Each structure stands twice: as structure tokens, then as C-alpha cells.
Amino acid sequence: MCVTERLVLLDGGFFVSRMAKHWAPKGRFSRWMKKVERKKMNYAHFLNKVRRTVFQDLNYIQMRINQAGYSNCDVQVCWDGSNGRNHRGKLYQNYKANRVPKTKLEDYDAGVYTNRDIRVDYEALNLDAMKLRKNFIGHYTKDLEADDLLADFVADNLDADIIIFTQDSDIHQLLAIHPGIKFHNFTEALTPVNNFNFNLYSDWKSMAGDASDNIPGVPNLGPKKATELIIKFGALENMPIDIFNNYTLAIGFQNHASETLLAYIKDNDKSEGWGKRKYGIVWSQIENKESFILSENQYQKLIAADVVENVWFIKESYFDTIKDYREIIALPSRLYSRKSKD
């Protein structure tokens, strides 16, 4: 057995993604099931082949663990709970909406969403998600995500030698509380590098956005600019408030704005290419009478060029929304009491 001072933590999302791949229309499980349905393979043989595939995935992970120098350790496998999204979804309804089938998007609300219980899926294959092999110990809490369980393991073992197997970069922020953590993405060891302290990771990610979790961030900002701002100002509360201002063209002014833009091009002997080079995609959006959002900087540039008038726009601050995003991203999470876990 591994001594308690060493911990191997594994994001169960790896196995979920492998299952999804195998059950995809052209995946091996789907192909075999079609044979079962056509009575060209009996169900017992199907289950044996499925189990063999799962064990191949487990052997692959064990090989990577051995290569990392943790061969004698138990592996703590952390699974997403079926209601794991809810505590973050109460702050942001569309949290992880990009992972939901389009047919279910209209009624999606992460605050009340119930996901499939991965344990049931494994039981259907005569497998136990809580004990996939002798040294793989499963951890599941209905109201928490795998990230929460991983973060709590770290918070409870700050003096331990820890390696985390995950493809989720949000876990890297745990370096703020345990600088010695090692990371592995199931293919190779990783050494996360930031240009700012990891205790500001959630501030940065809330501004930059996170496409994998459907978190948009500050409109028109992006990771590079967010990094510059974090390095210069630090936490969100230290930022100039104008950074979070955004301007939406009121619907009633879309036609008027387009006509004014075309007149501006003609009166000033400018080409359409000039406008696009100077003002980017926003120029085309105005020209095409599309809806769009301007950052404070983009807005001021257009106002200065006398292309638009300030009365055409609705001003909105994203500051409180971005702070909510920060709470969603932060690990260990502050959105639940660790003492109240199942």
C-alpha cells in the first residue's frame, strides 16, 4: 500500500469521455451492440468484450501512474455527482450548457439540472465505478463535481506528495494552496506556468472566459488582455470599473447606424477595408445591421470617429457577473460547506 503521505488523484471524467467515445455511433461498444441486436453476438460475450476494453483503459492509466513513480499507491478516482452542477448553476444558469444536447437546451438550467449517475452506467456493464480495480477507489458525492472532490483532497492533505491526473486546467489553481502538486494529463506530465500568482487564477479565468464550461468572460477581452490586466492590477476589485463596461446597440438604431456608417465611408473617401482594419469585426456588424457588444475601448474609438452616437447604445456593467464567474471557477469552492458533504 502507498503511505498516506503520497496521494494519486484521478479525475473520473477521463473514463466518462472514454465511455462516450466507445458508445459513439462508430465506437466499438455501439458496433458490438448492433451485433447483439442482429443476434450475431450473445450478450454475455458483449459484456466480456466491454469489460476487457475498460480494463485496457485502466491498465493504460496504471502504466502512466507507474511511470510517474507512484506504482504502489491507491488511486482516488473522483466522479461528478448527478447534481454536481447545481451549486454553480444557481449563479449562472447556462453553466456547462455547451455539454447538453441541443434538443434539451431550451429548458436547460444548471441550477436544477440532473446528470446521469455514472455509477448506474457501470452497473449496467457489471462493473463497479467505486472499485474499478483493487487499488482504484471511487469517490462520489451527489451534489459535487469531480473538481470539488479533487480540491478537497488537496485541502485536507497540504503536506502530502500529490499527483493529479486530469485534463482540466482549472485544477492548476490548487498550486496556490499546495505549490508542490504534480500534474499529468494522461499523456504526459505537466508543469503549469503562469505570469501571475495562481491565487489570481479564478480572477483571470472569469475575465478571459472558459469555452469548455460555457463561461463567456468579459466580452471582447480574451486571455491575452486578461493576463495583462491581472499582472497590472491583480484581483477584480482592483481593476478600473470601465473594463467591465459594455455597450449594446439598441435594436431601433441598427438601420440608422448602418446608413450612417455607409455615409461616413462615402463622405470621407474611405474604403470598407479601412474601417475593418481600424475597428475590426464591429465595423462589419454595424454595416450588416447585426447585434453586437462593444467594449469600453471599442465604443470610445467609434464615438471619437463620429461614426456612432452615444444615445444609440445601452450601457451595461459586467462587474457583478464576472465576480459570479470567479466564484464558479474558484477551487476549493466557496459555494458549499465542506462539512456538509455526503
Q: Give the predicted TM-score (pTM) of the model.
A: 0.86
Asked whether residue 87 is domain-assigned, the answer is no
Residue 250 has pLDDT above 90, yes or no: no
Q: What is the pLDDT of residue 2?
A: 52
- Across 53-72, b (16+ Cβ under 10 Å) vs e yields bbeebbeebbebbeebebee
Cβ neighbours of residue 64 closer than 8 Å, sequence gap 6 or more: 165, 184, 186, 187
Residue 39 has pLDDT above 60, yes or no: yes
Residue 204 has pLDDT above 50, yes or no: yes
Q: 141: domain range?
A: 6-82+117-193
Q: Are residues 207 and 342 in the same domain?
A: yes
- DSSP E strands in 18-171: the ranges are 75-78, 136-139, 161-165
The model's confidence at residue 3, banded by pLDDT at 50, 70 and 90, is very low
Asked whether residue 110 is domain-assigned, the answer is no
Per residue, the 3-state secondary structure of 179-225, as one string, reads CCCEEECCCCEECCCCCCCHHHHHHHHHHHCEHHHCECCCCCCHHHH
Which of 59-68, 191-200, 247-256, 314-323 is least confident?
A: 247-256
Q: What is the pLDDT of residue 51?
A: 92
The three three-digit cell numbers of residue 199, written as one number? 491565487
Q: Are residues 133 and 209 in the same domain?
A: no
Among residues of the chain, what percentage have pLDDT more than 70? 93
Residue 122 has pLDDT above 80, yes or no: yes
Q: Are residues 176 and 234 in the same domain?
A: no
How big is the chain by its Cα radius of gyration, in Å? Answer: 25
Q: What is the mean pLDDT of residues 71-99?
A: 96
Q: What is the pLDDT of residue 311?
A: 75
Q: Are residues 168 and 306 in the same domain?
A: no
pLDDT one-digit tens code per residue, 269-285: 877 677 777 666 677 77
Examine the fold and report which residue of 175, 193, 211 is the final residue of a domain before the chain moves on.
Answer: 193
Q: What is the pLDDT of residue 307?
A: 67
Asked whether residue 135 is domain-assigned, the answer is yes
Examine the fold and report which residue of 145, 175, 193 is the final residue of a domain before the chain moves on.
Answer: 193
pLDDT one-digit tens code per residue, 161-171: 999 999 999 99
Q: What is the pLDDT of residue 4?
A: 59
Q: What is the pLDDT of residue 327?
A: 97
Q: What is the pLDDT of residue 280?
A: 67
The model's confidence at residue 338, banded by pLDDT at 50, 70 and 90, is low
- Residue 144 and residue 81 in contact, taking contact as beta carbons nearer than 8 Å: yes
Residue 135 has pLDDT above 90, yes or no: yes
- Average pLDDT over the chain, rounded to an integer: 89
Q: Which residue has the higher pLDDT, 86 or 292?
A: 86
pLDDT one-digit tens code per residue, 309-333: 777 788 889 999 999 999 999 999 9
CA 259/CA 52 separation, integer angstroms: 66
Which of 83-87, 98-102, 225-229 is least confident?
A: 98-102
Angle, alpha carbons 299-248-236 (nearest 5°): 70
The model's confidence at residue 96, banded by pLDDT at 50, 70 and 90, is very high
CA distances from 333 to 15, 26, 188, 226, 315 (A): 23, 38, 27, 22, 32
Residue type, 212: S
Q: Are residues 187 and 225 in the same domain?
A: no
Q: Are residues 217 and 173 in the same domain?
A: no
Q: What is the pLDDT of residue 255?
A: 73
Q: What is the pLDDT of residue 279?
A: 66
Q: Are residues 320 and 279 in the same domain?
A: yes
